[in-house]
Amino acid sequence: MNNSNKKKFAGIRADIIVVALLVLVGAAIALGVFLFSGKGKTAEVRIDGKICARYSLSQDRSIRLSGAGGGTNLLVIKNGEAYIAEADCPDGLCIRTGSISRVGQSVICLPHRIVVEITGDAGDGNDIDVFVK
């Protein structure tokens, strides 16, 4: 192997090591976030940017949400998780998001301007605050 080929091989090997280290660091960070983000206690519902309700994750229920512009979504809370089971929006991305249960996770329906976010605040299951214009 001549000098030029040795330098190329050493450069490629260094690149592989750097990429492998970055992947390991990224995986460690993702694992840490997952392990240390707490289990949520409340699903907070925002419609058009305003908090309209908070539901305890400890009580199973189904709630029909009326989004901005008249669209509807069905929020289901079951076994400590929340998810959108039905939506009449054109893309249905909120349904495909799946279940959320950890603090900071959210399900967003852009067409209806609905955001469901998990918080660590304890709710008793009856603390629904509704704002009416």
| Residues of the chain with confidence (pLDDT) below 50 | 123-133
Closest CA to 105 of 94, 92, 119: 119
SS3 99: coil
Q: Are residues 50 and 103 in the same domain?
A: yes
Which residue do the tokens 């214009």 mark? 133
Per the structure, the complete domain to which residue 77 belongs is given by 42-119
HEC-encoded secondary structure of 24-52: HHHHHHHHHHHHHCCECCEEEEEECCEEE
Amino acid, res. 113: R
Q: Are residues 73 and 15 in the same domain?
A: no
pLDDT number for residue 100:
94
CATH of the domain at 47: 2.60.320.10
Number of domains the chain contains: 2
Best CA proximity match to 91, nearest among 74, 111, 76: 111
Alpha carbon distance 112, 52 (integer Å): 14
Distance CA 10, CA 33 (A): 35
Tokens read off for 46: 């925002």
**How much is the pLDDT for 35?**
67
Residues 86 and 28 placed together within one structural domain of the fold: no
Is residue 124 one of the residues assigned to a domain? no
- Residue 128 is predicted with a pLDDT of 44
In a domain, 125, yes or no: no
Instruction: Supply the pLDDT for residue 52.
Output: 93
**pTM for this structure?**
0.66
The CA distance from 71 to 87, in Å, is 8
Question: Does 109 lie in the same domain as 50?
Answer: yes
